[in-house]
Structure 1
Amino acid sequence: MSEKKDLRGYTGTRKKPPRDAAEKLLELAAAGYNKKGLAYRLGTTVETLNKWLELYPELKQAMDEGREREHNALFTALFDSATKGGNVAAAIFLLKARHGYREGDQAEIANRVSVVFEMPGAMKLEDFTKDVTPRGGERGHD
């Protein structure tokens, strides 16, 4: 692990992470532990764990990788439940979370035609009659 000099702000009992901290963080984060649980299992406080994650990039990387493994396991289980197990609630959740699906009359909204009429501003009667009165050789309807 890379050593840093600035250890101010530590509130836990340990000043340095244990030698196997990266492996433990990876394993525990993949198992779903939150920061409080991770800190407890490493024998420190959440504040100290946060400081370690700041000071030792390899610890942050191990925790992030563990969380990604947990995310992948949960997503795979949910996806399999929706697609292979016929779990409608799981399918709806995935549609909402990953594809922005919203319940309701979506089909009606998608097929609606919208027509916008733009009306001219108010005109004086003289100006209006000039525009609609036939000119010179033009004839009206027979």
Structure 2
Amino acid sequence: MTAKITDRPLMKAGRKPSNPPADATERVRELAADGWSIVGIASRLGADPKTFGQWLERDPSLQEAFDLGREQERQTLHNIIYRKAVEKEDITAAIMLLNSRHGYRNDQSDQGNRVNVTIALPGAMTLQQFTAIGKNEDNG
């Protein structure tokens, strides 16, 4: 017969946390800079995406490497679009940069060729005010 649960020592559930590879910081920065997702980076490091997320939470230098890699990717993409907009005078690229960097928005794009009808209603009236309007229109 088994002993009661209160007689046994309590054990923590799950495995002991794993550690990232020795060269993980540099590899994470390079992979993030090349546009790899968290799932892809985890796969390249031989880890589950949840495990990789835990590594990022536990190791500030690893999180910083990931953030720096993402910023490097963003800067590279920005430079490509900027050069296309300025040097090649690409209007689409210029509009995209104005929208994303400077908050320009074309709010009428979803309006298309729709007709816009506005109906203005008078405020509340008493019966005497309403009948007076009707009499004025008949006399006019």
Query: TM-score per shorter chain, which class?
Result: 0.5 to 0.7
Q: Aligned to 1:26, which of 23, 26, 29?
A: 29
Report the Cα distance in structure 2 between the residues aligned to 1:75 and 1:63, rounded to whole angstroms: 18
Unaligned runs of 5+ in 2: 1-13, 110-124, 126-140
Report the Cα distance in structure 2 between the residues aligned to 1:9 and 1:71, rounded to whole angstroms: 36
TM-score when scaled to structure 2?
A: 0.64
Report deviation, 1:15: 1.0
1:5-39 per-position Cα deviation (integer Å, ceiling 9, x unaligned): xxx677xxx81100000000000000000001100
Report the Cα distance in structure 2 between the residues aligned to 1:80 and 1:9, rounded to whole angstroms: 50
Residue 89 to residue 103, structure 1, CA distance change in 2 (3 Å): farther
Q: Aligned to 1:77, which of 75, 80, 86?
A: 80
Report the Cα distance in structure 2 between the residues aligned to 1:26 and 1:58, rounded to whole angstroms: 10
- Structure 1 runs (4+) greater than 6 angstroms displaced: none
State yes or no: 1:100 paired with 2:100. no
Number of matched pairs: 111
TM-score when scaled to structure 1?
A: 0.63
Report the Cα distance in structure 2 between the residues aligned to 1:61 and 1:89, rounded to whole angstroms: 33
Report deviation, 1:96: 1.2
Percent identity between the aligned chains?
A: 36
Partner in structure 2 of residue 91 of structure 1: 94
Unaligned runs of 5+ in 1: 1-7, 106-121, 123-142
Output the amino acid matched with 1:89: T
Bigger relative contact order, structure 1 or 2 (CA pairs below 8 A, ≥6 apart): 1
